[in-house]
Amino acid sequence: MLLPLLTPDVVAGRSEVSDAVTVGDEVFSRSDLVGAATSTAERLGAVSRVAIEAVPSMQTVIAVVGALMAGVVVVPVAPDSGTAELRHILDDSGAQAWLGATPTDACGRPHIPVRLYARSWHRHPQPRAGAPAMVMYTSGTTGPPKGVVMTHGAIAAGIDALAQAWQWTPQDTLVHGLPLFHVHGLILGLLGPLRIGGRLVHTVKPTPENYAAHPGSIYFGVPTVWSRMAAAPEHARALRSARLLVSGSAPLPPTVFEALRELTGHEPVERYGMTETLITISTRADGERRPGWVGLPVEGVQTRLRDDAGEDLPHDGEAVGELLVRGPMVASGYLDRPEATAESWLPDGWFATGDAALIDADGMHRIVGRMSTDLIKSGGNRIGAGEIEGSLLGHGSVAEVAVVGVADDDLGQRIVAFVVRAADDPTDPDTLARTLIDHVARSLSAHKRPREIRFVDDLPRNAMGKVVKKKLLTDG
């Protein structure tokens, strides 16, 4: 039986420390947080769903905890949301009010402020494990963002599985500066330490200087954070006393993995998940950490691969197919979108991720991209673009890269790599192109080599910083 996600007993039932939660310059003990959150919960009244502009502040922390304790559904909103996206999220979610910091644009919703120093010890009924806790919106790469309904039980199961995989205990101090409107920063980075115990330090901004200034045992970052850390050796070395460096949300370049190992003495823990599934796969605190691979299914999770016909593929480290996952942390569906839900949530409990992956005989998983843009069918072979990108990023002349499949009369698709060269690389473009093609052929296999290298000044990205490969295919 799952414990409730957050109740006064769960949050406060750990050893009391005066600095349980730190956000920038604000520091709260665990009892301070419970008292302020309970006071906030009392003032929500008949509200059943609230939007929270997730600025990195103690107000946001209290707003999230208070709403969850009261059984009110939280709708996290990015502070930089544009007008059209903001209105879509508020209207689509049915949010009745804003809770927390004063929003930039209230869009006609009333604002319920959070009083940092108000305290109450009133007890609220515990939400059911199957009750909705959050509606989190996807990045909307294929249309308007869709609301993902996460239950209290799913979030609790996801956190507990990671506690087992990472040996995460109340003795740990988590340090990060990630946004509080994504799975990584909000569910893992805020609700994780509150449920498990220990300390949380949110640095507001995830800079190398801020991370180095706050001693911790676990540090969270995305690849951009870790690449900047690797470029700042004096700050990276300050993390040698840590226990785990965790990377997610995008593939970590092998060169950054190696640099962090050299500078910090730690091989980063990589993990895989989605808004719809939370974290389902991860390398272990006590297990193998292989650059470019995201590890094994966490406790309670099953995975498999399927081909275009829906048939299962072997776990041989070569066969690439769509990754399907099943586990207690998977969301219950898209809000008010039964057709979209039916496309991804299969009748037998499996969730179709849309991600192309391979699994080796030991169960290690490698994500090679999206099925729609990153699975390349060339000369009868099924090839993952992410595997080729990882190989190219291991070459010192490559700063950034995106690999796509371009229509080809002979091969079906030919592999084309769009490469941003490392600064001040002196190599002649034609020579470098041949070198990179040979590099992939040697490190992977001949049929996975790019047939063409196109050098570009930068790669097109969306608001989330992800490369828009469809734009490369149309404009490149």
Mean pLDDT of 233-260: 93
Mean pLDDT of 301-305: 98
Task: Tell me: pLDDT of 233 over 80.
Answer: yes
What pLDDT shows up at residue 1?
31
Q: Are residues 361 and 316 in the same domain?
A: yes
Query: Strands 173-176, 97-99: parallel, antiparallel or unpaired by DSSP?
Result: unpaired
Mean pLDDT of 38-55: 94
Assign residue 446 the CATH number of its domain: 3.30.300.30
Average pLDDT across the chain, whole number? 90
Strands (E), 193-285: 199-202, 218-221, 244-247, 269-274, 278-282
What pLDDT shows up at residue 83?
83
Structural domain boundaries, residue 57: 8-205
Q: State how far the Cα of 37 lies from the Cα of 157, in Å rounded to an integer.
A: 22
Phi–psi pair at 190, nearest 5 degrees: -115, -55
- Cβ atoms of 450 and 438 within 8 Å: the answer is no
In the numeric block, the tokens 């869009």 are attached to 107
Residue 326 corresponds to which tokens in the numbers above? 């099943």
Domain closes at, from 316, 351, 370: 370
Judge whether 235 lies within some domain: no
Percent of the chain with pLDDT over 70: 94
Judge whether 341 lies within some domain: yes
Judge whether 237 lies within some domain: no
Q: Are residues 192 and 289 in the same domain?
A: no
Q: pLDDT band at residue 82, thresholds of 50, 70 and 90?
A: confident
Q: Are residues 346 and 385 in the same domain?
A: no
Terminal Cα distance for the chain, rounded: 53
Q: State how far the Cα of 143 lies from the Cα of 273, in Å rounded to an integer.
A: 21
Domain closes at, from 181, 205, 229: 205
Which amino acid would we find at residue 285?
A
Judge whether 242 lies within some domain: no
DSSP state of 131: S
Q: Are residues 332 and 431 in the same domain?
A: no
Judge whether 28 lies within some domain: yes
Domain closes at, from 370, 390, 422: 370
Tell me the three state secondary structure of residue 332: coil
Q: Are residues 77 and 199 in the same domain?
A: yes
Assign residue 80 the CATH number of its domain: 3.40.50.12780
Q: Are residues 276 and 391 in the same domain?
A: no
Q: Are residues 412 and 349 in the same domain?
A: no
Q: pLDDT band at residue 476, thresholds of 50, 70 and 90?
A: low
pLDDT tens-digit map of 396-452:
899 999 999 898 877 888 999 999 999 888 899 999 999 999 999 888 878 899 999
Q: Are residues 398 and 356 in the same domain?
A: no
Judge whether 226 lies within some domain: no
What pLDDT shows up at residue 13?
53
Judge whether 211 lies within some domain: no
Q: Are residues 353 and 283 in the same domain?
A: yes
Q: Are residues 351 and 418 in the same domain?
A: no
Task: Tell me: pLDDT of 264 over 90.
Answer: yes
What pLDDT shows up at residue 468?
84
In the numeric block, the tokens 């049915």 are attached to 94
pTM: 0.84
Please indicate whether residue 205 or residue 381 has the higher confidence score (pLDDT): 205
Percent of the chain with pLDDT over 90: 68
- Cβ atoms of 6 and 38 within 8 Å: the answer is no
DSSP state of 14: S
- Cβ atoms of 37 and 67 within 8 Å: the answer is no
Q: pLDDT band at residue 171, thresholds of 50, 70 and 90?
A: very high
Q: How many domains does the chain have?
A: 3
Q: Are residues 171 and 285 in the same domain?
A: no
Dihedral sign of CA atoms 228, 234, 235, 239 in order: positive
Judge whether 328 lies within some domain: yes
Q: Are residues 192 and 131 in the same domain?
A: yes
Assign residue 279 the CATH number of its domain: 2.30.38.10
Mean pLDDT of 369-390: 80
* Nearest alpha carbon to residue 267 among 296, 241, 288: 288
Helices and strands in the chain: count of H runs, count of E runs: 15, 24
What pLDDT shows up at residue 379?
75
Mean pLDDT of 240-251: 92
